[in-house]
Structure 1
Amino acid sequence: MDVALTLKLEDGILTGVLEDRVLLRHSPDSPAFTLARGHPDIAMVRGNFRIDDAPEGHLAPAFVRREGEAFVLSAAPQGPALLRVAAEAGDALRIEALEPGYDRLWVDLVAQADEHVWGGGEQMSYLDLSGRRFPIWTSEPGVGRDKTTELTRLMDAQGMAGGDYWWTNYPQPTFLSSRRYACHLDSSAYAVLDFTDPARHRLEVWEGTARLEFFAAGDFVGLVGALSHRFGRQPPLPDWAIGGAIVGLKDGARSFARLEAIVAAGAAVSGLWCEDWIGIRQTSFGRRLFWDWSWNAARYPALPERIAELARSGIRFLGYVNPYLANDGVQYQEALEHGFLALRQDEDAPYLVDFGEFDCGVVDFTNPAALDWFAERVIGREMLDFGLSGWMADFGEYLPVDLRLHDGSDPMLMHNRWPVLWAEANARAIASRGRTGEALFFMRAGFSGVQAHCPLLWAGDQSVDFTRHDGINTVVTAALSAGLVGNAYSHSDVGGYTSLHGNVRSAELMMRWCELGAFSPVMRSHEGNRPDDNLQVDSTPELLAHFARMTRIHAALAPYVRHLSDEAVRTGLPVQRPLFLHYPDANDLYAVQDQYLYGADLVVAPVVEEGAPRRSVVLPGTAPWRHLWSGEDFAPGRHEIDAPIGSPPVFYRPDSAFAPLFAQIGKERGG
C-alpha cells in the first residue's frame, strides 16, 4: 500500500508527515539523526553471539537546507554536508551519511506517550515492544532467556547460551504502531529497535545508509495486509497437514510400531515425522542427527516400502534437513569438490563451524550454482524424489561473520539474510517438482523476506517447562508477533524441546501443550533433545489417551482452518491473531499475549501456567461468546474460567457460520 510521505522544511525544522501522522521532527535543538564510526567486537559460540561496539566520532548535524528534491544536514549553517535525507517513491525515507567512514546511523521517529508498538519479527517474551530495546540479529534463542534463573546462568557459562528476552531465531526490523502505521528498515545489517523513550522511537543501523519504508491504514487489519503484501504471502496449507497430527518419533525402525499403537489408541494422524531418517550422532547435548542428507538404511531399513505403506493409510512421511554438511559425510566431499562451501578469510580452505562435538561446512548460497545444487541434489533427489512430503528445515542462524563468501559480500550484512536464502533453496526444490502448496517444510530461522519462501514457521527450541521467557507460553507470543509482519502460519513442538541440567517434561506440561497444539494450524509432536529422559505422548495410557483426543479435536477443526488458510492467501491475515487486531479501540488488549483469536470466530486461552486449574480470560467486543465445552454464553469482559486438563478455555461466536462445527467439537469430551 503506497502512502504519501512528505518532507517539509520550515524555520529550520524538518518534518516528515505520513498522511496525518507526524513521524519525523528534526530541529537544531533536537536533532533526529546521529552518525558515527563503529568498531564492532563480535564473538560466536554455536550460534550464540556476543555483539559489542565502541562507536566514535559522533555527529548530530543540526542544520538543514534543501538541495534539489533532497535535504542535507550540516554541523553549521551552510557547512559541509554530513547527511542526506530524501523521500523515495512516496512511501520511503532514505538517509545517507556523506562523511567517509561513517557506518553507524541513529534515526529518531516521533512517538506519543500512550503509543504501543508490536512486531520485531518473531519475539518470544513480549508482544508489546513498548519500553524495551530489541537488537535485530538472527541467532540461537538461548536456553532460559532470563538472567534471574539458574538455568540461564548455567547456560551462559556454557558457551554464552543462556540468552535474554530479545534473543530470537527470527528478528525483523519492522514495527507496527497503535497510530495505525508501520515502519520497516530495509536493511540486513545489525540493527536495534529502541522503544525505551516514550517521546521517540530510535532505530540504530550498522550501515552508512538507511531506507525506512512506511505503511498506513485505517485499521490494523489493513496494515497487516499491507505488510503481508510487501514481504510475500504463503501458499495455503495442504489438507493433509491440517487434517490430523504429525507425530514426531526418532526411534529408528521402532517408530513404525509406536505409530501403529498411537493410531490404534484413536489418534487422528496425518504424518509421521522422523528427523533421524538420516542417522544419529550421540553427543553430550543429547541425541543429535548425522548431517548428511540422505536415507540411513541401517537406522530405517526398507524405508521406501514403509513410506508407501503409510501413504496407503493416508499418512505422510516427513524428515529433516539443514544448510550445513558434516565434514565426515559424503555430501560435504561433493560440495568441496565443486567449490560450493564458504571459505576461510585467510586461505582457500572450507570454513568449519563447531556445532557441538562435530564440525560442518557452510554451503555458500551466495553462489547460485551452490544453491541450485542443494535444492536439486539434496532436497530434490534425496528427499522429494525419495518420497518425503515435508521436513523441518532447521537452522539458518549460524552464518559466522569472519568467513569468505562467493559473491564477495560482507558476512555482517549477509548474516541476517541467510535464513531467507535457506528458505529459497527449500521452496525452489518443491517448486521444481510442482509440489508448492502440497509438500511442506517448516523453519525456525527468519528475516525480512522469508515470508515469500517459507510456508510454515515453528517457534524453535523451547525449554520443557512453564517458565516465563522460555516455556510453553512463548510460542503464543511468537505466533502473534510473527503473524503481524506477514507470517500466516505458526506452530510449536508439542512438549517442548530443550531438556538440560535436569529440566524434564512433566505430564501436566505434555497435556497442556497437546491442548495448545490442537488449536494451532499444524499440530506436531517432538521427542526433544533427550527423548530417553523425557515423557512422550505414548509414555503412559493417560498421556496417549489425552494426545489422541486432542488430535481428534484438531482434525475436526480442519474445515475452519481451511477457511482461515484461504483467508490468509487472500488478505495476509494470520491464522492466530492478537485480540486487538479485530478490536483496535480496546487499549487494554494491546499487551495481551497469553491468548489469541483463532481467526475471527474463536478465542483460545491456553493454560500456560503450572498447576493452574482455572485462568483469567478476556473476551473482546460487545457481543457474547459461547464456551466451547459447556455451551454457556459469557458477556464480553474478563472472566475466571475453569480449565481442567482436557478443557482449555475456548470460546466461539454464536453467530459464526462455523458455530455448528464448534458445538459438535465441544461435545467430544473424552470418548
Structure 2
Amino acid sequence: MGTNLQIGNIYPVDYARTFYEGMEREGQKNIVNLLRCAWAGSQRYGALVWSGDIASSFESMRNQLAAGLNMGIAGIPWWTTDIGGFHGGNPDDPKFRELFVRWFEWGTFCPVMRLHGDREPRQPQYGTTGGATCCSGAANEVWSYGEEVYGICKKYMELREQMRPYTRRIMEEAHRKGTPVMRTLFYMCPDDSVCWETEDEYFYGPDVLVAPILYAGQRSRTVYLPKEERWIDYTTGKEYEGGQTIKVDAPLNTIPVFIKKNSNIFGKE
C-alpha cells in the first residue's frame, strides 16, 4: 500500500468505511461508529470521533476545546471527549471534582455528551479468566462525586434534554451541509475582527454562545459578545448589546452561556 507518509491519513477513512459498509450489508440503516481516528472524509461513514485516552487535567480540557473546534472546521461534525478526562482522577478528591464539574458543564454543549474515564483508586480484579483478570477503575457515575456535584450534573443533563429539538436541528444541518456543530467565532462572524482572535469561546449551533471555565479555581471570566446581535445571559436573563467584552460570574454550578435574542433554543422541532 505504501509508507505511513504516503497512506497514514487515508487509513482512518478506509477504517471507518470498512465498518460502515459491513454494517450496511447487514441491513443496518442509522450507522454510527465511535472511533478515535479520522481524516477528511471519515464523516461520510458514520464516524463519531472521540479524542482518545486523555489526561484528567485542566490543561487537557483546554486542549480538548481546541481539538473539538478544529475537528468541526475540518468537516467532521460528530465529535466527543471523555468528560473529566480518561487517565486518573479520584471522585473523592475536591480538586478533581471541580475539574469534573467544569468538564461536564462544557460537555453539555458538545456534539455528543459522554462520560467516561479510568478513575482512582484502582479496584481489584474480580476473576482469573478473560477481562476479569484486569483491574478496574473506581466508580464514575454522576452520583459517585457527592451530592453537590450530582445536583450540578442533574441540572445540566436536564438542560441538554431541554435543548434536544435545537440539537437535532443543528445535527441535521451538519448532515445536509457539513456545518460544524461546535463553531469557532470567526466561522460565524468573519467580519468581526475580535472573533478571529478569540479562542476560548465558541458557538453551539448558530444561536448559543458558550464560554467554558478552563482553569482551576476560576469563578469569573471575560466574554466577548459578537457584533450585530443582542445576547441574553442564560443564567441571569440580562440582555447585552454585541460588540463588547463583559465580565461575568461563574460559580461552580455555572458555565457562562449566552443566547442570541429571539432565537428558538427550547421550542419544538
Partner of 1:506, secondary structure, is: helix
- Distance in 1 (CA, whole Å) between partners of 2:195 and 2:73 is 15
- 429, 452, 461: which one aligns with 2:44: 452
Mapped to 1, the partners of 2:179 and 2:205 lie a distance apart of 9
Alignment of 1:373-384 (within 5 A): none
Hey, what's the Cα distance between the residues in 2 that align with 1:530 and 1:441?
A: 28
Structure 2 CA distance for aligned equivalents of residues 507 and 626 of structure 1: 29
Aligned equivalent of 2:105: 515
Give the CA deviation at 1:526.
Answer: 0.6
Secondary structure of the 1:615 match is strand
Structure 1 position 561 matched with structure 2 position 151 = no
Separation of aligned partners in 1, 2:172 and 2:9 = 30
Query: Contact between 2:166 and 2:265, CA under 8 Å: does it hold in 1?
Result: yes
Name the SS for the 1:513 alignment partner. Answer: helix
Give 3-state SS (helix, strand or coil) of 1:617's partner: strand
Aligned to 1:538: 143
Q: 2:88 matched to which residue of 1?
A: 499
Structure 1 CA distance for aligned equivalents of residues 224 and 138 of structure 2: 34
Cα deviation 1:623-668 (Å, max 9, x = unaligned):
210011111101211111111122210011121133668xxxxxxx
Secondary structure of the residue aligned to 1:634 is: strand
Deviations 1:168-194 (A, max 9, x none): xxxxxxxxxxxxxxxxxxxxxxxxxxx
Matched, 1:427 2:20: yes
Residue 480 (structure 1) shift: 1.1
Equivalent residue runs for 1:345-494 within 5 Å: 408-437=1-30, 439-467=31-59, 471-494=60-83
Kindly report the root-mean-square deviation, in angstroms, between the aligned alpha carbons of the 2 structures.
Answer: 2.2
Report the Cα offset of residue 558 of structure 1: 0.8
Contact 1:616 1:640 survives alignment (8 Å) = yes
Offset, 1:541 = 2.5
Aligned partners of 2:101 and 2:139: how far apart in 1? 11
More helix by share: 2
CA contact 2:225–2:245 (8 Å) conserved in 1: yes
The 1:475–1:607 alpha-carbon spacing in structure 2 relative to 1, beyond 3 Å, is same
- What SS does the corresponding residue of 1:456 show, helix, strand or coil? strand
**1:428–1:604 CA distance, 2 compared to 1 (3 A):** same
Counterparts of 2:3 and 2:169, CA distance in 1:
43
- Structure 1 position 572, deviation (Å): 1.2
Does residue 647 of structure 1 match 2:254?
Answer: yes
Higher relative contact order (CA 8 A, sep 6+): 2
Alignment of 1:96-135 (within 5 A): none
SS in 1 for 2:222: strand
Q: Would the aligned equivalents of 1:427 and 1:436 in 2 still touch at CA under 8 Å? A: no
Deviations 1:422-451 (A, max 9, x none): 2112212332233343x4322221223322
Gaps of 5+ in 2: 123-136
Q: What is the alpha-carbon distance in structure 2 between the residues aligned to residue 455 and residue 570 of structure 1? A: 15
Deviations 1:23-74 (A, max 9, x none): xxxxxxxxxxxxxxxxxxxxxxxxxxxxxxxxxxxxxxxxxxxxxxxxxxxx
> Are 1:528 and 2:135 counterparts?
no
Question: Which runs of structure 2 are paired with 1:43-192 in the superposition (5 Å)?
Answer: none
Q: Over residues 344-401 of structure 1, what are the superposed CA-to-partner deviations in whole Å (9 max), with x where a residue is unaligned?
A: xxxxxxxxxxxxxxxxxxxxxxxxxxxxxxxxxxxxxxxxxxxxxxxxxxxxxxxxxx
| Distance apart, 1:617 and its partner CA | 0.8
Give the SS at the match of 1:497.
coil
| 2: CA distance, partners of 1:640 / 1:595 | 14
The answer as to 2:240 corresponding to 1:610 is no
Match of 2:183 in 1: 577
Aligned to 1:620: 226
| 1:274-324 superposed Cα distances (whole Å, 9 cap, x missing partner) | xxxxxxxxxxxxxxxxxxxxxxxxxxxxxxxxxxxxxxxxxxxxxxxxxxx
> Structure 1 vs Structure 2: percent identity of aligned residues?
29
Within 5 Å, give how 1:205-224 maps onto structure 2. none
Note closer, same or farther for the CA distance 1:607–1:409 as it changes in structure 2 (3 Å cut): same
The DSSP-based 3-state class of the residue aligned with 1:494 is: coil
Q: State the 1:535 CA deviation.
A: 7.1
Change (3 A) 1:542 1:433: farther
Q: Are 1:475 and 1:491, in contact at CA under 8 Å, matched by a contact in 2?
A: no
Q: What amino acid maps onto 2:72 in structure 1?
A: G
Q: Once the 2 structures are TM-superposed, how far is the Cα of residue 530 of structure 1 from its aligned partner? A: 5.0
AA at the equivalent of 1:520: C
TM-score after normalising by structure 2:
0.83
SS in 1 for 2:203: strand
Deviation, structure 1 residue 579 = 0.7
Q: CA deviation at 1:461?
A: 2.5
- CA–CA distance in structure 2, aligned partners of residues 441 and 497 of structure 1: 19
CA distance in 2: counterparts of 1:426 and 1:510, whole angstroms:
33
CA contact (8 A) 2:119 2:139 kept: no
Q: Is the 8 A contact 1:490 1:520 kept in 2?
A: yes
Gaps of 5+ in 1: 1-407, 662-671
Please say if residues 498 and 529 of structure 1, whose CA atoms lie closer than 8 Å, have aligned partners that are also in contact: yes
The alpha-carbon distance between structure 1 residues 627 and 434, as it changes in their structure 2 partners (threshold 3 A), is: farther
What is the aligned counterpart of 2:196 among 590, 598, 614? 590
Q: TM-score, normalised by structure 1?
A: 0.35
Inter-partner Cα distance in structure 1 for 2:155 and 2:264 = 24
Question: How far apart are 1:548 and its partner, in Å?
Answer: 2.2
Question: After TM superposition, what 4+ stretches of structure 1 lie above 6 angstroms from structure 2?
Answer: none
Q: Which amino acid aligns with 1:517?
A: G
* In structure 2, distance between residues paired with 1:592 and 1:535: 37
1:518 Cα shift?
A: 1.1
Residue type at the aligned position of 1:413: Q
How far apart, in 1, do the equivalents of 2:189 and 2:154 lie? 35
1:16-35, aligned counterparts within 5 Å?
none
Change (3 A) 1:434 1:619: farther
> For the residues of structure 2 that align with 1:461 and 1:511, how far apart are their CA atoms?
19
